[in-house]
């Protein structure tokens, strides 16, 4: 029995691993976790590969403590996994669900080449993406009732892995040891975007994810209604961990609801409901979009009304036009945008409200909508720790192309796509303070040798 891990990089609260162990126990066969480390992945740099591998090292150690071997192969999984399955006469491969094109192609290739059946398990979404809807959903309002109808059925508590692993037949093949430091040092990936050291960026791994969740529920969720203010520590900070599957969204929901029932819950009901709406409905809407819209990262993903209105304003005069190099360096006339770009470049993260502003300004300052999408996706995948994710691609498509949105008042360049501007940001929060904070952050990172 093989569990091919490629999206859910965790040991705990992992339905795919649970299913693999259940099947191994039922069939009386051993079970191992297999990982095919592709030499490149959608423009990821050492920043993303380093975060992934440092977390994966912890997960492999936790699996080993449970007697579950972790097999890492430095080869693209579409060829590595079928070869491994044949070598151990696997009776079943269990794997993760992922809606991205490259991952779908990997799964299809493994299914075609594997010597045994392949079960795909959606451990990412609380309600499995392909159960919620078999078509492209128009907006949150169309998918929300479908998810809510199924939540009680799928929002189960998760079993303890130690109990499942205890009765599985021991693995009888040799498992090569992984020298994690040598592996990281030897990766032939782009190192011009460095890893982000603590305390300037998130610590990788399942334990760190649990700490971040606990601190959010006990300290920051009470502020969640102020989540659109980048100067308030109101956001969960879970995005990198959810992206890499280092924490289960289902566990986050269960712990949030348990906190909701506690006598001394610190968060008002409205804050908890808003958080769960974004964690469940909005994230699952993003997976639905990327699964059913294969060109999710291009102009072609925009709805017809948005393409028509952007086409109409394609030749509008623009006060500023910036090339990719100027955007990457944060060399624009807008101090807020430059500060947000600096936060992304330095820390691999950006406040959620500013991610929308960031993308919309790229649209406004690009020679064409197609250029805008290409530039935003390139920067997103290169710098964000949680880049190359259905949430990020859907966010760009919403910001630039009205995906999951509606037409608004018509204006130059944007047409009827929702508009955001610097003056509006100043009305929402203290822009000057945010810009000042990013300047202080950069100076501190330089002084401490972090950049």
Q: Are 175 and 71 in contact (CB under 8 A)?
A: yes
Other Cβ atoms less than 10 A from the Cβ of 415: the count is 24
Q: Which two tokens stand for residue 28?
A: 């009386």
Mean pLDDT over residues 415-434, rounded?
Answer: 97
State what percent of residues in the chain have pLDDT above 70.
98
Average pLDDT, the chain: 96
> What pLDDT is recorded for position 259?
83
Is the Cβ–Cβ distance between 24 and 168 less than 8 Å? yes
| Residue whose token pair is 């691999």 | 348
Segment 84-143, tens digit of pLDDT: 999 999 999 999 999 999 999 999 999 999 999 999 999 999 999 999 999 999 999 999
Could you tell me which residue, 353 or 167, shows the higher pLDDT?
A: 353
**Confidence band for 268, pLDDT divided at 50, 70 and 90:** confident
Give the global pTM.
Answer: 0.96
- Residue 263's pLDDT band, with cuts at 50, 70 and 90, is very low
CA distances from 212 to 67, 247, 360, 450 (A): 28, 10, 30, 22
Cα–Cα distance measured from residue 341 to residue 427, given in angstroms and rounded to the nearest whole number: 20
Q: How far apart are CA 203 and CA 265, in angstroms?
A: 27
Q: Do 256 and 68 form a contact (C-beta atoms < 8 A)?
A: no
Q: What is the assigned CATH class of domain 1-123?
A: alpha beta
Q: What does the alpha-carbon distance between residue 380 and residue 370 come to, in Å, rounded to a whole number?
A: 15
Q: How far is CA 386 from the centre of its chain?
A: 5
Helix, strand, coil fractions of the chain, as percent rounded to 5: 55, 5, 40
Q: Give me the pLDDT at residue 127, please.
A: 98
Could you tell me which of 67, 82, 58, 7 has the C-alpha nearest to residue 31?
67
pLDDT at residue number 262:
53
Mention every residue, 6+ apart, whose C-beta is less than 8 A from residue 214: none
Q: How confident is the model at residue 167 (pLDDT cuts 50, 70, 90)?
A: confident
Under DSSP, is residue 443 helix (H, G, I), strand (E, B) or coil?
helix
- Whether the pLDDT of residue 264 is over 60: the answer is no
CATH architecture type of domain 206-292: Alpha Horseshoe (1.25)
Q: How far is CA 392 from the centre of its chain?
A: 7
pLDDT band at 39 (very low <50, low <70, confident <90, very high): confident
DSSP 8-state code for residue 36 = E
Structure tokens at 349: 């993260």
Q: How far apart are CA 235 and CA 212, in angstroms?
A: 11
313, pLDDT greater than 50: yes
pLDDT tens-digit readout, 389-420: 999 999 999 999 999 999 999 999 999 999 99
What is the distance between the alpha carbons of residues 164 and 67, in angstroms, rounded to a whole number?
Answer: 11
The DSSP bridge partners found for residue 72 are 35
**Model confidence band, residue 265 (pLDDT cutoffs 50, 70, 90):** low
CATH number, domain 299-447, options 3.40.50.300, 1.20.1250.20, 1.10.579.10, 2.60.40.10: 1.10.579.10
In contact, 269 and 116? CB cutoff 8 Å: no
Domain residue extents for the chain: 1-123, 206-292, 299-447
What was the pLDDT predicted at 266? Answer: 60
Mean pLDDT, residues 8-15: 98
Question: 1-123 and 299-447 share one CATH topology?
Answer: no
> Are the CB atoms for 10 and 245 separated by under 8 Å?
yes
């Amino acid at each position: 029995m093989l569990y091919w891990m490629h999206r859910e990089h965790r040991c705990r609260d992992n339905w795919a691993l649970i299913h693999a162990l259940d099947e191994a126990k039922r069939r009386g066969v051993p079970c191992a976790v297999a990982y095919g480390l592709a030499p490149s992945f959608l423009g990821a740099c050492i920043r993303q590969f380093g975060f992934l591998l440092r977390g994966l090292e912890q997960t492999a150690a936790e699996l080993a403590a449970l007697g579950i071997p972790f097999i890492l192969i430095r080869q693209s999984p579409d060829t590595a996994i079928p070869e491994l399955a044949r070598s151990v006469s696997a009776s079943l491969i269990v794997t993760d669900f992922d809606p991205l094109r490259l991952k779908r192609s990997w799964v299809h290739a493994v299914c075609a080449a594997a010597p045994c059946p392949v079960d795909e398990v959606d451990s990412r979404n609380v309600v499995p993406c392909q159960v919620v809807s078999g078509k492209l959903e128009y907006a949150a309002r169309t998918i929300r009732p479908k998810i809510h109808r199924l939540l009680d059925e799928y929002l189960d508590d998760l079993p303890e892995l130690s109990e499942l692993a205890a009765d599985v037949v021991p693995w009888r093949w040799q498992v090569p040891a992984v020298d994690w430091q040598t592996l990281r040092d030897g990766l032939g990936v782009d190192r011009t975007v460095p890893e982000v050291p603590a305390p300037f960026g998130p610590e990788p791994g399942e334990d760190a994810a649990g700490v971040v969740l606990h601190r959010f529920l006990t300290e920051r969720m009470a502020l969640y209604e102020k989540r659109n203010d980048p100067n308030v520590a109101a956001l969960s900070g879970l995005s990198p961990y959810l992206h890499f599957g280092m924490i289960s969204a289902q566990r986050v929901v269960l712990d949030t609801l348990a906190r909701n029932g506690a006598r001394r819950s610190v968060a008002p009901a409205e804050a908890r409901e808003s958080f769960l709406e974004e964690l469940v409905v909005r994230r699952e809407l993003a997976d639905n979009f990327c699964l059913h819209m294969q060109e999710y990262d291009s102009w072609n993903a925009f709805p017809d009304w948005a393409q028509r209105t952007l086409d109409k304003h394609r030749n509008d005069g623009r006060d500023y036009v910036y090339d990719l190099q100027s955007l990457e360096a944060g060399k624009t006339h807008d101090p807020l945008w430059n500060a947000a770009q600096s936060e992304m470049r330095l820390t691999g993260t950006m406040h959620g409200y500013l991610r929308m502003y960031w993308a919309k300004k790229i649209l406004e300052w690009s020679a064409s909508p197609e250029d805008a999408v290409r530039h935003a996706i390139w920067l997103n995948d290169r710098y964000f720790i949680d880049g190359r994710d259905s949430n990020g691609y859907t966010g760009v498509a919403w910001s630039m192309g009205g995906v999951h949105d509606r037409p608004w008042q018509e204006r130059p360049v944007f047409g009827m796509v929702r508009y955001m501007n610097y003056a509006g940001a100043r009305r929402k929060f203290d822009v000057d303070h945010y810009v000042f904070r990013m300047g202080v952050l950069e100076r501190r990172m330089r002084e401490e040798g972090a950049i």
